[in-house]
A = this chain, B = another copy of it.
Amino acid sequence: MEFNLTKSLEILERTPTVLNTLLSGLSDNWTMQNEGGETWSPYDVMGHLIHGERTDWMQRLNIILDSKGDNKFASFDRFAQFEESKGKTLNDLLTEFETIRKANLEKLKALKLNNSHLEMTGIHPKFGSVTMKQLLSTWTVHDLAHTGQIVRVMAKQYKEEVGPWVEYLRILQS
Other 19 A-B pairs with CB < 8 A, given A10-B25, A141-B158, A142-B169: A1-B29, A1-B157, A3-B161, A7-B27, A11-B154, A18-B21, A22-B147, A127-B165, A134-B161, A134-B163, A137-B161, A137-B165, A138-B163, A140-B158, A141-B162, A141-B169, A145-B171, A148-B171, A151-B151
Assembled-state Cα–Cα distance A130/B131 (Å): 53
Q: Are B10 and A172 in contact (CB under 8 A)?
A: no
Q: Are B21 and A17 in contact (CB under 8 A)?
A: yes
Residues of A within 8 A of B (CB): 1-4, 7, 10-11, 14, 17-18, 21-22, 25-27, 29-30, 33, 124, 127-128, 130-131, 133-134, 137-138, 140-142, 144-145, 147-149, 151-152, 154-155, 157-158, 161-165, 167, 169-172, 174
